[in-house]
Amino acid sequence: MKIVGLITEYNPFHNGHLYHIEKAKELTGADAAIVVMSGNYVQRGAPAIMPKHLRAEVALEAGVPLVLELPVCYACGSAEYFAYGAVSLLNRLGCIDSICFGSECGDYYLLEKIAHITADEPEEYRQYLREALKSGMSFPLARQTALKKYLKDPSLDEILEQPNNILGIEYIKALRQMKSSIGAYTIRRKVADYHDNELKEGYSSAKAIRRLLAYAGSSVHLASDQWYDEPELSEILTRLENQVPPACIRTLEETHRLRYPVYAGDFSLLFRYKLLTETRESLKEYMDMTEELANRMMNHASDFITFDQFCDLLKTRELTYSRISRCMLHILLGIRASDLSEYKEQGGCQYARVLGFRKDGAKLMARIKRTASIPLVTKLRPEEELSETAAKMLRQDIFAADLYESVITNKYKMPFISEYRQQIVRV
């Protein structure tokens, strides 16, 4: 049996994801796909719009046989860490033949060429990178500048500014660094751009769908004497019928204002409390943090109002909104740079945690148990059954999930379901 690995967020699941699944199996000749999905927090540095178990259930309904959770330390990391964590998980399963990812350019060989340069770092490239960093550029911009100079190709700007191209480069780079036997393929994204805010015919971005769901059926205050009534959920779901699979429509309808939507602003008071407990020195310990950002956070701590407002306030030319948002999530969730260093020393992901499976996914789990070099976690087990590093990683996942659930409980007055009581989704 040939298996393709897919690295996803499904935030929420839509037709583009369905296309990705079908095309990936066709392109790689795989008999089955195993999905590694972000949990309750996503790579752009925000909570997922709905809980991981709901998103996993929709993916299973769409035909995915097995969904595994990407640990939170990687799920809300920069492109490099997100890709490294996901690839390390798939690599350590011992049964994955290939991965297939979406990209804006659809040109695997160009992405591979760039990935090999960033992985091997030839001396000329490293010199260009040092010069760019010394000039005060952020690392992503410095790398982009160095690559253009090294390859003598000014047209690379568009390639290196597109988020899925960047992730693709990091996937290939991670495979190379791990000396993995897993092959890699890419497919070009259909129609919608990652950043599109509006629905497109048939294939829309997850961002556009989230934006539509944001205030469904609510009144938005425009001015002192003006209110704008957003469309009711039923009207929005009608508009989404050709954008998402039926299972997603059903989930969106049944759980609206019961389990979703969840947004960064819902974590504002929690972050305010956490910020009050920190110092300039303690802030520097968190993942992705710089001395400049730590200083800006402390200097503007009294100006904090909401999570989103604080990200906007701290933005500079070098510090992007997403970078700041990720740092704030790391602070809130207690993810430190030393944690990621420790995990990398131990090979990356320390376990494969099952979020859900179909009946045909049981065969895949049996195969993983035979081939994997890490435990397959189907229920939370006593920590002594895991290595010290794996137990630490799992504690971070449990805390992050319980914090997310606490927000749902507070926002929608629903009973709290601890991570220990969450059930694996079976379809």
What pLDDT tens digit does each residue of the chain (427 aa) get? 999 999 999 999 999 999 999 999 999 999 999 999 999 999 999 999 999 999 999 999 999 999 999 999 999 999 999 999 999 999 999 999 999 999 999 999 999 999 999 999 999 999 999 999 999 887 888 988 999 999 988 888 888 889 999 999 999 999 999 999 999 999 998 755 555 557 777 678 899 899 888 877 665 444 555 544 567 889 999 999 999 999 999 999 999 999 999 999 999 999 999 999 999 999 999 999 999 999 999 999 999 999 999 999 999 988 889 999 999 999 999 999 999 999 999 999 999 999 999 999 999 999 999 999 999 999 887 666 799 999 999 999 999 999 999 999 999 999 999 999 999 999 9
Radius of gyration for the chain, computed over Cα atoms and rounded to the nearest angstrom:
21
Surface-to-core class of residue 262, CB atoms within 10 Å of its CB (0-12 exposed, 13-18 middle, 19+ buried)? buried
Q: In the structure encoding, which two tokens stand for residue 335, read together? A: 């993810």
For residue 60, the one-letter residue type is L
Q: How many CA atoms lie within 13 A of 247 on its CB side?
A: 17
Residue 405 pLDDT: 98
Residue 381 pLDDT: 72
**pTM across the whole model:** 0.93
Ranges of H-type helices in 291-335:
291-299, 307-314, 321-333
Residue matched to tokens 């020195």 = 281
Give the list of residues 6+ apart from residue 382 with CB closer than 8 angstroms, or none: none
Residue 214 pLDDT: 81
Helix 321-333 to helix 291-299 angle, to the nearest 10 degrees? 80
Q: In the structure encoding, which two tokens stand for residue 368, read together? A: 């993983």
Report d(CA 92, CA 114) in Å as an integer.
25
Residue matched to tokens 């350590």 = 92
Report d(CA 179, CA 141) in Å as an integer.
27
Cα dihedral across residues 149, 155, 42, 99: positive or negative? negative
Give the C-alpha distances (Å, rounded to integers) separating 304 from 14, 210, 274: 35, 25, 12
Closest CA to 392 of 345, 350, 333: 350
Q: Which residues of 35-46 are buried (b: 16+ CB within 10 A; e: fewer)?
A: bbbbbbbbbbbb
Give the C-alpha distances (Å, rounded to integers) separating 33 from 185, 248, 298, 358: 14, 19, 46, 12
Q: In the chain, where does the domain assigned CATH 3.40.50.620 lie?
A: 3-191+339-426
Q: Determine the 3-state secondary structure of 7 from DSSP.
A: strand
Residue 12: cis peptide before it, omega within 30 degrees of 0: yes
> How does strand 226-229 pair with strand 219-223?
antiparallel
Cα dihedral across residues 145, 149, 155, 160: positive or negative? negative
Dump the DSSP string for 40-108: SEETTTEE-SS-HHHHHHHHHHTT-SEEEEEPHHHHTS-HHHHHHHHHHHHHHHS---EEEEEESS--H
Closest CA to 48 of 70, 80, 21, 24: 70
CATH code of 3-191+339-426, in short, is 3.40.50.620
Helix 307-314 to helix 321-333 angle, to the nearest 10 degrees? 130
Residue 261: cis peptide before it, omega within 30 degrees of 0: yes
Residue 382 pLDDT: 64
